[in-house]
Structure 1
Amino acid sequence: MRGGLSVMDRPGTTIAFTLNGREVSVGTPPGQRLTRALRDELHLTGTKVGCDAGDCGACTVLLEGEPVCACLVAVGQVEGRRVDTIEGLSESSPVTRRLQDAFLRHGAAQCGICTPGMLVAATKLLEANPQPTEAQAMDAIGGVLCRCTGYRKIVSAILDQGEAPVADSDPAAGKAVGKRLRRLDGKPKTNGTEIFGADETPAHSLLLRAIRSPHHRARFRFGDLDRYVAEHPGLVRVLTARDVPTTDPYGPIPPFADQTVFALGEAKFRGEAVAAVVGQPAAIEALDLRQFPVTWEELPSVTSMAAALAEGAPLLHEKRTGNILTRGRVVKGDVEAAMASAPVTVEAAFETGFVEHAYIEPEAGFARRVGDRIEVQVCTQAPYMNLEDIAKILGIAQSQVRIIPTAVGGGFGSKLDMSVQPFVALAAWITGQPVRMVHTRPESIMSTTKRHPSQIRMKIGAARDGSLQAIDVRADFNTGAYSSWGPTVANRVPVHASGPYFVPHYRALTRAVHTNLVPAGAFRGFGVPQSTLAQEQLFDELADKLGIDRLEFRIKNALSGDQPTATGQVIGEGVGIRACLEALRPRWREAREEAAAFNRASQGPLRHGVGVAGMWYGCGNTSMANPSTIRSGLKPDGRLALHQGAVDIGQGSNTVVTQIFADALGAPIDKIDRISADTDITPDAGKTSASRQTFVSGKAAELAGRALRAQILRAANAGEDAVIQFGPGQVTVKDGAHERRIDLAMLPVDARGYVFSEEATFNPPTSPLDADGQGVPYAVYGFGAHLAEIEVDLALGTVKLLALTAAHDVGRAINPTLVEGQIEGGAAQGLGLALMEEFLPGRGENLHDYLIPSAGDMPKITSILIEDASPVGPFGAKGIGEQALIPTAPAIFNAIFDATGVRIRRAPATPDRVRAAILAAGGKERG
């Protein structure tokens, strides 16, 4: 209290406190969030903002030595007190520095957005308890959410206790592939200096906020917008569809792109933008957007696929006949005859709902006009797609657009789509001033794409000996109000719904259906997790009917390289599904025996179960061009430049692509300078999606490295087996007994300053699919199988994952630590899909009501890496990002049946659904 008023009551004052060991003061309202003071006033952006509600923990700092969410602390509450952030702890705390090193060695930082919060929380734990238990470590980080890692490597790093380094030291030239190198971009993630979408803004930037529809469907009419601007000092402009230079739609998949920057007269889903306000930050933040002059006329909406497909349903898009966006089809053999003759068949219907991406970093970025060009700095998975779309929106040449990707705090597919880009680009182009936009968490969840809800009916027939005879699939996917990636899902699922098994007769027909709901888009797996959830459960039912062990049934039918897939493709080498399934055999037998013994002895409501599921996934686009280009050069000082435009969203492409390039060239990693994604200085490496970057961009890097090596060897008149040594200002080439030194300073340089340079492009060899879906949709497939061990409480319906064993054929593990990280992170998202995650539009638009797995939900994961090399991939490598998610949920669902004797046909298997299924079955359970 000062003068009778508490600091929180003083309208404007200077607040002093100790920050990272030094005295500071800020002139901000006492009720302002501490995060805002730290980031905006004191420019310490290591403290991240993921929710502004205390749900994600990304903003964790120490207040008087105790971890708190800075977004829930008012600046007035820290007056005269001590605050420590990741920046300060990195300098002052030996515990933090040891933790940072452990995080790098264990691969505990992936995208990095949660890493500062994790490190701060773990620092507090280790300062108080240098040798914590695993349970204590999980409890310490329990308030910090991570969407990438699956938590296990974070826990391992915290429990490190000075063990021998997990990561390899820098390898010799030509020995990088296969090594557990520390993430090359890891240090900024651990010390808080990494720049994400909201972390950097030009001085004097304007702020933009979108006006979004509160209804699933509504016509709207604006009031006097000029008057609204005039009545609000600091407001610069209101933007609507009339301000867009071109009304051509933007979107990732022409000709299906159908969404405009702002809705044109009618909003088709809750959260669709109809306008945007632009102005000085203080003025924009003071606005009550509920008072914006827009009148809504709510219209009848279609919010289910059944309603959209019903006779007489209103058309959501006038230029289409009906509400079916597109259809997918793969047909092989005679399914009707094969099914009729199959002695054993099973059939069921399955359903899944919307799933939110829930990355910890909300969408953010800024744009600025530079002469007749527009520059957009943003968190994105697809810089060149963004470039093309921004040029179309503004009606300018693509050469007038520059996209600068920031670090991406999780993407998983949704950051393929443009969220803030069109708004800030349009505003900056029109006003001539820099404009920034940062989604709030509710805005992010309300308006961005989701995993497609699905309704799948599948029938499978088999011979008495267990050989698969036929699979028949009908699947509908709710693509929401606009196309987004609906065509990709509708076409990818029929290719994959056979699973990695040989099926002589096959039919898969899919539809993407429009509704008045948030668009569904790309999300780790593009529809394959939904179809696999159906198929792998029916496999268990079929095996049980036949009296065959469930794992052995899959092994018997596992696809081999000389058998045709459902599309007629004969893959040849690199088909490792049988090896993945066989790798689970020892644990399968042990786990089954242990579960049976537990259930026999259990006197209470707990039951254990074991489930297994297999998967495959084609890397890259389906039967479409999918090129990546990589550029490299040797500089006069003897260092190498790698122009690597593949956006790393946490999966590790910055490290993996560099490892591949280094070995192809025969150079040590520490001689390579990586030039990160930027459309002005890196060639197009394609979008980061569909598990393509290690495979496609990695192959381009291999080709570029080999070409640069060949050029240097030619200059030295040396043979292919010669050794190249890169030194300051020179290159030495040793070819047997002969040695030649090249003085780089004596050589001419090209326009980019290189004495030698190469650029290589790789486009995977595929072919179009015919009318029956026959052809070569992918050049490379990844394979995998998961074994889930669970515990079910029959009285409550709760399910706990006790252990997961994950076997994956990755072709070649370029960096095993990063591969394991992808497996663990994918498994965590698979757990969420199985047990807790379902987004209901209009509800749960926050990370408190929408649940994702936390540290305590994730058990030990045993990763088994199978290396059945692909002849096409770089050094034999395949993708892993999508693959790791796909088999987790069906393995858990199969384990639920194993424990309870009841089948759950709708995901997620929430306690109420599990309990209802048990009651419907008479309360009986398997012993």
Structure 2
Amino acid sequence: MEGLIGKSEIRIDAYDKVTGKGLYASDYVNQFPVLAHMKALRSPYAHAKIKKLDISKAKALDGVIYIMTGDEPGIDWDQYPKAAIIAKDETLWAGQMVALVCAETKEIAENAVELIKVDYEKLPAVLDYYAAINPNPVSVIDPEYETRPLGFSDRPGDRASNRVSPNVVGAFKMHAGDVPAAMEKAEVIVEGEFWTGKKTASPLECANAICRYDSDGGITMWSNGAGVHGVIKQGICRILGIKESMVRVIQPYMGGSFGSRLNPYVEIITALMCLRTKRTVSFQFNREEVFTGAPSNWPCITKVKLGAMKDGTIVANDYYLAEEIGACVNNTFFSGRLSSSGVIPVYRFPNLRMDTCAVATNTVPAAEYRGLGCPESEFGIECLVNQLADELGISPVEIRMKNIIDKGERDAHGELITSIGLKKCLQSVADAVKVEEEPEQDTGVWKKGRGCAVGGKQNTPLGRSEAEVWYNSDGSIQLFISCDENGMGATTALAQIAANEFHVPLSEIKVTKGDTAITPYDNYSASSRTTYNTGNAVKLACEDAIAKLKEEVARVYGLHPSKVEIRGRKAILSGSYIQEADIPSLFKPTSMFTQGNWGLQKGTPVVGHGLFCPAPIHQWDEKGLSDRVWNWFQYSAAAVEVAVNEETGQVKVLKIASSADTGNPINPKLVEVQIEGGVHMAIGFSINEEHIFNEDGKIANANFSDYRLPTILDMPTNENVHAFINPDPLPDGPHGAKGMAESITIPVGPAIAHAIYKAVGVRVTGYPMTAERILALINEKKAKEAAK
């Protein structure tokens, strides 16, 4: 049959999901006749001392099984410093757990929480970068930072040097060329300070876990968390000191993630409660807890200065990045270093001075969020590239075409670029929206503008991926994988790779996924690694099984394995009087009454194993340079047309085109809907979404009524949303494929910002670009014009 790579096959999980037959993790609450329920008491203050905690009345309530506090023994948080889920002596953010109740019913647990009495002493808090960066801040998040080991995150350069504040808790620098000298020679210089807000990934399914106490003293967990092996199981075993053989983790269907389920705090605390009570327990977050108890993104402050020649050639980039990491100092390696590295592989920067730091605040801890900080870190650069084009009288497309790095060149890190289709991406979106033409203006208060931007993101080396393939005696094929199916269709793409290798229809591949007792090791689905890592592992597993089949069939017919081709249930033979053999009929009988030496001696199933581990990276030198830092890079471009209301500041996105360099797409339709979903998400956080804090530092809009997620009414109509695929094959990707889910969100914000400038003449320096902020800029512009 024709190969399946590049075919838009229907998702293998489509029927389960559209009919409601598929079970998500939260559905498992109804699968247990007896189930204990957990409920948390959370701090109402961003920073407070716990003077007294009285759980006596709650403990006495009929139906209460166990109450856990910060004094709970048996938790080794050394691997996650300052990330203790339950506060002990003081709370570091509004929403941190102070106590955790386990009771016979959900209602009893909620009532017990109401009976817990806490005497707080409210303390000063730092809620943003500017307060935290003060040399003498009113709150120091991690006083032991200088002396405490950093655990698993420790890397050279993680220790912040030249700390201007005790809340600076991580640093990274990358210096290439001579920025001061290049700036002296530059004919045009543009610079600015930019900011992005704090936001929450909002999958439809809230964080949840169910943990069963097994008869042998082990535990079995059902969770919508990511990484059954590499995150959840290892996290539980490492923090709670449990043998890996005693922990089983199963991942049902996930109701989305966007990075929010990559930290196993829910699973660890649920496992501990299960072990304490020896009961099957359930911990189900509500929507407010997703905002206050689950990780947010990393808000950024960037200070950028670009030097260029009059023809638009960029000669220098002086770049400073500070990322707010919230109240848990456990991600300083990832923050700054990874998000800022997305800046590097996009443009030629012959002279680049990049200095980054992580800043702790009394806010909900920050962690992985779609794009891993790149939408935030690249916003300022893209805004300045557009400003540079405006000042030089060059189109925003032309200036990018002049400066975008080409395949075969080395970026500022010194790393060779082996796959980049960004110029094709940019041209396709620019043509679709007609960025280089002026839109027709209507009369009235709505003014139109068009803008574009590009983005890039690295793929982070995140360990090995494994896959297993079984070729059964009846010719059926099973694929065993442990990657996460966040909802993007990865399982279908991986099954397509397997079906392509065996030359069978997709329906012939039975997939078993996400069960640590059955499926082989994988780390987790993050940094757009699934197609690349797990896809390669699947391909290798198929090749291994096919090689074993060829060897056995060749032995039966006295042929060399090279004379055998496996096509589903058939073996095509060369150099034999039999041209085609039915493989299932060749399997050796296993009955004790059968004798003889015919058939496939290795029995059934024939098992193929694939292990893929990316090539090792090379450590940065003292300047942050290396010839291999990441596995590969993903790229995207966006162009938009917006309308801005001059009287209210409201922004409407009228048209949007987005394009991704995916390498060779395994399933083009899945890529297209990923692009459309990424655009929708990026419009939301560019225009609407942000945390609003009350006077106690608590998120005041921790619900879908006040936290403005975009609805269908905020999106352009279908005919005005364009998704393009502009592949440039990745040499070591499976069939040339690579991931693309994160880069889609990067260019949308700066494209909207430039379109706003084109519409009403105001430059936006941060997002979300709310109506209030845009109106303030318009009024400021009017006031300046009136004062002339």
Normalised TM-score (structure 2): 0.89
Q: Give 1:527 shift.
A: 1.0
Superposed CA deviations along residues 37-61 of structure 1, whole A, max 9, x for unmatched, are xxxxxxxxxxxxxxxxxxxxxxxxx
**TM-aligned CA deviation for residue 616 of structure 1:** 1.3
1:211 counterpart residue number: 41
For 2:228, which of 362, 383, 402 is the aligned residue? 383
Residue among 422, 428, 434 paired with 1:583? 428
Maintained 8 Å contact 2:55/2:115: no
Q: How far apart are residue 226 of structure 1 and its match?
A: 4.8
Identity fraction in percent: 29
Q: Look up the match of 2:653.
A: 801
Partner of 1:837: 689
Matching residue of 1:867: 727
Match of residue 350, structure 2, among 501, 504, 509:
504
1:180-579 equivalence runs, <5 A: 180-201=8-29, 202-226=32-56, 228-230=58-60, 232-249=61-78, 251=80, 257-281=81-105, 283-285=107-109, 287=111, 289-313=113-137, 314-321=139-146, 322-370=166-214, 371-384=216-229, 385-498=231-344, 500-572=346-418, 574-579=419-424
Q: Amino acid of the residue matched to residue 739 of structure 1? A: E
CA distance in 2, matches of 1:237, 1:222: 19
Q: 2:437 aligns with which of 565, 573, 593?
A: 593
**What is the CA deviation profile of residues 863-892 of structure 1, one whole-angstrom value per residue up to 9, with x for unaligned ones?**
111121010111111111101111111111
Q: What is the SS of the residue equivalent to 2:473?
A: coil
Secondary structure class of the residue paired with 2:336: helix
1:755 and 2:609 are equivalent in the alignment: no
The equivalent residue for 1:178 is 6
CA–CA distance in structure 2, aligned partners of residues 234 and 288 of structure 1: 9
Worse-superposed segment, 907-916 or 242-251: 242-251
Cα offsets for 1:326-371 (capped at 9, x unmatched): 1122221111111121111100000111011111111112101112
Map Cα deviations across residues 630-674 of structure 1 (whole Å, 9 max, x no partner): 111112222111111111011111101111122234333222211
Shift in Å, 1:302:
2.0
Q: Report the 3-state secondary structure (helix = DSSP H, G, I; strand = E; otherwise coil) of the residue aligned with 1:411.
A: coil
Distance 2:740 2:768 in 1: 24
Give distance in 2, aligned partners of 1:478 and 1:245: 30
Structure-2 residue corresponding to 1:824: 676
Contact 2:59 2:112 (8 Å CA) reproduced: no
Mapped contact 1:276–1:423 kept (Cα < 8 A) = no
SS at match of 1:487: coil
Q: Check conservation: 2:175, 2:352, Cα contact below 8 A.
A: yes
Other structure's SS at 2:731 match: coil
Cα shift at 1:265 = 1.7
Between the aligned partners of 2:561 and 2:666, the Cα distance in structure 1 is: 27
Partners in 1 of 2:174 and 2:605 — Cα distance? 51
Distance in 2 separating the partners of 1:748 and 1:898:
76
Distance 1:510 1:516, change over 3 A: same
1:616 partner letter: G
What is the alpha-carbon distance in structure 2 between the residues aligned to residue 904 and residue 546 of structure 1?
Answer: 19
State the 1:295 CA deviation: 2.2
Q: Which structure would you say has the larger RCO, counting Cα contacts within 8 Å and 6 or more residues apart?
A: 2
| Alignment match, 1:815 | 667
Paired amino acid for 1:897: Y
SS of residue in 2 equivalent to 1:703? helix
The residue that corresponds to 1:39 in the other structure is none
Give the match for residue 732 of structure 1.
571
Residue aligned with 1:276, SS? strand
Distance in structure 1 (CA, Å) of the matches to 2:100 and 2:672: 43
Report deviation, 1:472.
Answer: 1.1
Displacement of 1:275:
1.6
Note if contact 2:38-2:281 (Cα within 8 Å) is conserved in structure 1.
yes
Q: Count how many residue pairs are aligned between Structure 1 and Structure 2.
A: 734
Deviation at 1:721, TM superposition (A): 7.6
Q: Mean Cα displacement is larger for which, 452-461 or 313-322?
A: 313-322
Match of 2:749 in 1: 889
Instruction: Measure how far apart 1:538 and its partner are.
Output: 0.3
TM superposition shift of 1:580: 1.5
Q: Secondary structure at the match of 1:696?
A: helix
- Call closer, same or farther: CA 1:235–1:660 in 2, change over 3 Å: same
Q: Residue 401 of structure 2 aligns to a residue in which SS?
A: helix
CA deviation after TM superposition for structure 1 residue 855, in Å: 0.9
Give, in angstroms, the shift of residue 813 of structure 1.
1.2
Contact map agreement 1:733 1:741 (CA 8 A) in 2: no
Q: Contact 1:494–1:509 (CA<8 Å) still a contact in 2?
A: no
- Distance of 2:502 and 2:72 partners within structure 1: 50
**Corresponding position: 1:774 with 2:603:** no
The one-letter code sitting in structure 1 at the alignment partner of 2:754 is N
**Aligned: 1:785 with 2:637:** yes
Q: 1:585 to 1:360 in 2, by over 3 A?
A: closer
CA drift of 1:246 comes to 2.9
Q: Which residue of 2 aligns with 1:615?
A: 455
What code does the residue aligned with 1:912 have?
E
Q: Kindly provide the amino acid, as one letter, of the partner of residue 199 in structure 1.
A: D
Q: How many Å separate the matches in 1 of 2:604 and 2:211? A: 31
Contact 2:47 2:91 in 1 (8 A): yes
Specify the alignment match of 1:165 in structure 2. none
> 1:773 and 1:801 mapped to 2: Cα distance?
39
**1:238 aligns to what SS in structure 2?**
strand
Q: 1:57-95: CA deviations, max 9, x gaps? A: xxxxxxxxxxxxxxxxxxxxxxxxxxxxxxxxxxxxxxx
Q: In structure 2, give the amino acid aligned to 1:772.
A: K
- Provide the residue aligned with 1:848 in structure 2: 705
**Counterpart position of 2:469:** 632
For residues 91 and 56 of structure 2, the distance between their equivalents in structure 1, rounded to whole angstroms, comes to: 22
When residues 381 and 259 of structure 1 are mapped into structure 2, their CA distance, relative to the original with a 3 A threshold, is: same
How does 1:32-43 map onto structure 2 within 5 Å? none
- What is the deviation of 1:625? 4.8
CA distance in 2, matches of 1:349, 1:834: 17
Contact 2:102-2:109 at 8 Å conserved across structures: no
SS of the counterpart of 2:26? coil
Q: Does structure 2 retain, via aligned residues, the 8 Å contact 1:666–1:723?
A: no
- Match among 637, 641, 660 for residue 497 of structure 2: 660
Which letter maps to 1:275?
A: A
Distance 2:40 2:79 in 1: 18
CA distances 1:510-543 after superposition (whole Å, capped 9, x unpaired): 1111111111111111111012211111001111
Q: Do the aligned partners of 1:780 and 1:873 also contact (CA within 8 Å) in 2? A: no
Q: Contact conserved, 2:82 with 2:142, CA < 8 A, in 1?
A: no
Matched residue type, 1:905: T
2:298 aligned partner, one-letter code: H
* AA partner of residue 246 (structure 1): I
Counterpart CA distance in 2 for 1:770 and 1:406 is: 43
- How do residues 4-83 of structure 1 correspond to structure 2 at under 5 angstroms? none
Distance 2:692 2:612 in 1: 41
Partner in structure 1 of residue 162 of structure 2: none
Matches within 5 A, 1:661-676: 661-676=498-513
